[in-house]
A = this chain, B = another copy of it.
Amino acid sequence: MAQPHELRERGLRLTPQRELVLAAVRELDHATPEEIAEKVRQTHPGINLSTAYRNLETLENVGLVQHSHLGHGGASYHASEEVAHLHLVCGTCGSVGDAPIEVASSFVNELSEDYGFRTDVSHFAVYGTCSTCSQKELE
């Protein structure tokens, strides 16, 4: 009995690499599978990239982590308990800024009411030009 581990509780086996992947996602925020594997290697050198990918997928299925698409590159993972927020990706300098999800609430509501579309604003990045780069363009 005793209280089951959070992974077991979701029907997953408890393996060192799985725990480490989850820990890495929680520690690094917005990390690519590659970066997560790299992090895990610090304590478990042998871990394979495929294993990182597979565990991220598994953890996502049970809702412990989620991924979003930031730049043109690959996906970026973060823990589910993290507060959801918008990602403002600058197409000019590549920086990624954050903004509270509330900024989009009226937009989300409108899409819901008019189109019946339930938006997950944090899944894809919001693309544009950051204030710094906008300034520079004026020069």
Closest 9 CB pairs of A and B: A116-B131, A107-B107, A123-B127, A119-B128, A118-B129, A124-B124, A124-B127, A120-B128, A118-B128
Give Cα A117 to B134, complex, Å. Answer: 8
Give chain A interface residues in 88-120, CB to chain B under 8 Å.
88-91, 97, 99, 103-104, 106-107, 110-111, 114-120
Counting contact residues on chain A (CB < 8 A from B), the size range is 20 to 34
A117 touches B104 (CB 8 A): no
Give chain A interface residues in 25-69, CB to chain B under 8 Å.
69
The residues of B that contact A69 with a CB separation of less than 8 Å are 69, 72, 124
Binding site for B on A (CB under 8 A): 69, 72, 75, 88-91, 97, 99, 103-104, 106-107, 110-111, 114-121, 123-131, 134
B103 touches A110 (CB 8 A): yes
The residues of B that contact A104 with a CB separation of less than 8 Å are 107
The residues of B that contact A129 with a CB separation of less than 8 Å are 117-118, 120
